[in-house]
Structure 1
């Protein structure tokens, strides 16, 4: 797969970019010459992250964006349109984890809805708000940050380490739904030259994996390592895939 979105002047939006994997995606995209909009729910944290990236020489701009709040999404899309006129890369990184101790049989339905609100409906809200700007790009890319737990195959195979993850109602199901949504966007947008893929960064040392680490799972990869595969799909060339699910080593089973 060749890369194309690294051209000078390309504009990317990364949601949930004030820390963890999102921050590293923003940094790595900026290192490749992209202008990066750092989306963050908390304005102060977003500005602080952007200031750190600016100090490292990155061309970044903070914007307040809560994926569960359509009004902040609309305002962010309007600002990006006024400032840059288009969007070349959208990385839907913002996500919410789940307590692995919440068994499906004891699920708090409000908590489950909250996770779907961020991990699925938030992606719909952001993507649809930014699509008019993505259509203005000559080579737009959308990357939805998923999880290995979104793979039904890996969840159900005794040979997979994910088979041992404690059962829970919301997070794996939300990522499976996100994977399905990715395929549908890919079908719709492929004729327009917009490539859409889902990516799992793998288990990385971030706030999202704290519960897994507390449960005894070893997590020895950094957020920067996890971000690399996201950046690779965000900058893939016209011969690249669309409608796929990828990890560090290539395509993954659904």
Structure 2
């Protein structure tokens, strides 16, 4: 089913930064699909936004599960037939500040499964929509903790590694894609969400704004960059 409106998909879109991204993109006139693991929570969020006449829907997708991702891609194809913007926002922070070599290996495995492999598999399953139309914008929500300089400091090792590898993935895919398809990583900063905690100085609304400019860049815009507050930062 083809339509004139651009279609955006946001993973982890039922709360925190993801919810704000959904709201702000929908208010700009995009058709927005939010994804999450819990269909009831996704449904509640969508109904709430529809009350404000926003063009939103949801698809159940667990980024830890390839079958779930493949099924979501089939659903998007059947219902919309296109995807213009993909924001990989779903992520976990499971570290309790143990040394990387002392932590339970399952913490590192779970973190990498969600933050890295989840994003990789979502991109792999949805990028063909963009290749088909020669246009697309992919945004990977990363963190300054993924910068190479952060690897010199202990703590948060599983999370840091997952974002470091995610940044590498961003660069590699940027080198591979053609046409007017762009992929960038963004650090939203320390945000007041379930993950960031109540003392974080940046609101989810502010964080969403700092991310969304990458969704509407023109053909001359950046590709394969790492940004915070609209400015390029070091890998």
Q: Does 1:225 align with 2:212?
A: no
Which residue of structure 1 aligns with residue 157 of structure 2?
Answer: 169
User: How does 1:164-203 map onto structure 2 within 5 Å?
Assistant: 167-189=155-177, 191-203=178-190
Cα distance in 1 between the residues matched to 2:73 and 2:140 = 18
Cα distance in 2 between the residues matched to 1:72 and 1:249 = 33
**Mapped contact 2:32–2:57 kept (Cα < 8 A):** yes
Which residue of structure 1 aligns with residue 92 of structure 2?
Answer: 96
Moved more, 139-148 or 48-57: 48-57
CA drift at 1:8: 5.7
Match of 2:80 among 81, 84, 89: 84
Which residue of structure 2 aligns with residue 153 of structure 1?
Answer: 149
Cα distance in 2 between the residues matched to 1:249 and 1:155 = 24
CA drift at 1:41: 0.9
Which residue of structure 1 aligns with residue 45 of structure 2?
Answer: 49
Match of 2:194 among 186, 190, 207: 207
> Where does structure 1 lack aligned partners over 5 or more consecutive residues?
1-6, 157-162
Which residue of structure 2 aligns with residue 40 of structure 1?
Answer: 36
TM norm structure 1: 0.87
Cα distance in 2 between the residues matched to 1:155 and 1:225 = 27
Q: Does 1:112 align with 2:108?
A: yes
Sort the Cα spacing of 1:155 and 1:53 in 2 relative to 1 into closer, same or farther, 3 A.
Answer: farther
Structure with the bigger RCO (C-alpha within 8 Å, sep 6+) is: 1
CA drift at 1:153: 2.6
Structure 2 SS opposite 1:12 = strand
CA drift at 1:28: 0.8
Match of 2:215 among 218, 222, 234: 234
TM norm structure 2: 0.94
CA drift at 1:55: 1.5
Cα distance in 1 between the residues matched to 2:233 and 2:112 = 22
> Where does structure 2 lack aligned partners over 5 or more consecutive residues?
none
Cα distance in 2 between the residues matched to 1:134 and 1:13 = 12
CA drift at 1:14: 0.2
